[in-house]
Structure formats: C-alpha cells, structure tokens
C-alpha cells in the first residue's frame, strides 16, 4: 500500500472540527474521506495530526492515508481540488514512507489566535478574528504569558476530565504580536490538550482587559483544576498555522 501525506487548509466556520462524528457529516475528516473513497473505490481512513475545535481554522493541517490506488500524488491532488467543498483545500499531496504517521510523529504545533481592535469590526475578517472594543494592555498580557511558557501541568487549561490522561505539556513559546489593528497570540506547544489554546487565550484577554492580574495566572496554573475563572476564547479567531515533525 502507498502512504500519502496531505497538507490541508480549511475554513472551519461551518464544521464541527476535524474529527469525524457519528451523528453528522460536518467534519473536515469526513469530507476528505468521502472524496478519497469515491476516487479509489476503497474505504479510506484519513489520519489527522489531532483534533480541532468546532469553528476553528487551519492553514497547514497535516494528515495521511493509505491506499492501494496506483494514482499519482498529482492526480490525487487534482481530484481532491475538484471535488472537495470550496472551504477545504488540500495544498499538497506527497507519497511518504510507510512509517510516517500524522499524529504519532508530531513534535509540536503552532496555533495563532487573531484579535482585531478598534471601534469598528472589519467585515472581511470577522469570521477569522475576535473583535475587541475594550482597550487591551499587551504588556500585562506578555507578563502573564511568561508564567505559561515551559513544562507544566495544564489541568487548569483544559476541559478534559481529571485523570483521563496526562495533562503535563510543554509550551515552547508564547508570543503576542501587534501589527496595526491586529494582535496575534502565537503558541507553540508539544501537544495541545482539549480546548487548551482557547483557554490560554481567554485568560490572557482577561489580563489584557484588566479583569485578572498577570500574577493570578500562575496561581490558576498551580491550582491544577479547571475553573470558571478561565473563559473560553471564541473559536473563530483560532487557526492551526503549522505542525512540526
């Protein structure tokens, strides 16, 4: 069998995330598997690099699949481009060694959360960024971010049930970048927990708005317990930028 690696760009606005669901077909995985299965005449299973939240996006999502088809990578790429919905694009198709696994071989992922500021929202990026009317203190946000960088138990920043799996993760970098009216929160982590990125952004925004002190972030982290003090950032602002292997 051949093993193909694909890199996918998708607008997740109308989807329930990457992961295929039993009760509907509103997932990125299901859309791609349906097209590939039709093309090959086989039941194709696409292995993704991880789950994404409903409503979030991806610039370079990595997946792989196995097939007995003799079609070339170029023909597969052309077929996917023709038959996938317009909000999903497979940017590249590449035959890779059998041992490559999109999820197991991941070293880290980079997520970006986009925030626009100012009195008026931008109608052209409203589906891809969170618009804040409130003034945001970036210095305090960066101070708070320093507490989260490194290896910690992130139980306070995931909605996973306690004890279901290890919640120790390593954030390699957490940068807050201002470019005109746009703020980007860029997080690189070895492995994101369920809702972890949105909860981190949520607490940083609370700090930026002056509702939570930067030092309190360390107390929340050390508490190792999910709390209502950590709000969920809206999913539309979150995008998977890159996956490192």
Residues labelled catalytic: 53
Helix (H, G, I), strand (E, B) or coil at 146: helix
CB 63 within 8 A of CB 47: yes
CB 78 within 8 A of CB 23: no
Closest CA to 42 of 33, 51, 31: 33
Phi, psi of 89 (to 5 degrees): -130, 125
The verdict on whether residue 111 carries a ligand-binding annotation is yes
Q: How many helices (H) and strands (E) does the chain have?
A: 5, 10
Residue ranges of the annotated binding site for substrate are 111
Residue ranges of the annotated binding site are 111
């Amino acid at each position: 069998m051949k093993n193909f690696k694909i890199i996918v760009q998708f607008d997740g606005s109308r989807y329930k995330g990457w992961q295929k669901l039993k009760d509907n077909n509103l997932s990125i995985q299901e859309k791609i598997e349906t097209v590939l299965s039709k093309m090959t005449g086989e039941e194709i299973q696409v292995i993704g690099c991880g789950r994404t939240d409903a409503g979030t996006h991806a610039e370079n999502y990595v997946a792989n699949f196995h097939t007995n088809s003799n079609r070339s990578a170029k023909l597969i790429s052309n077929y996917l481009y023709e038959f996938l919905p317009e909000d999903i694009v497979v940017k590249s198709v590449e035959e890779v060694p059998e041992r490559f696994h999109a999820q197991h071989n991941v070293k880290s992922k980079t997520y970006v959360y986009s925030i626009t500021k100012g009195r008026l929202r931008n109608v052209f990026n409203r589906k891809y960024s969170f618009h804040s009317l409130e003034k945001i203190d970036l210095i305090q946000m960066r101070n708070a971010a320093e507490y989260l960088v490194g290896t910690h138990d992130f139980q306070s920043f995931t909605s996973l049930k306690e004890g279901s799996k290890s919640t120790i993760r390593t954030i390699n970098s957490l940068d807050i970048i201002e470019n005109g009216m746009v703020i980007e929160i860029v997080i690189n982590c070895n492995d994101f927990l369920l809702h972890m990125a949105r909860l981190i952004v949520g607490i940083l925004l609370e700090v930026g708005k002056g509702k939570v002190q930067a030092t309190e972030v360390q107390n929340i982290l050390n508490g190792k317990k999910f709390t209502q003090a950590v709000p969920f950032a809206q999913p539309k602002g979150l995008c998977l930028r890159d996956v490192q292997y």
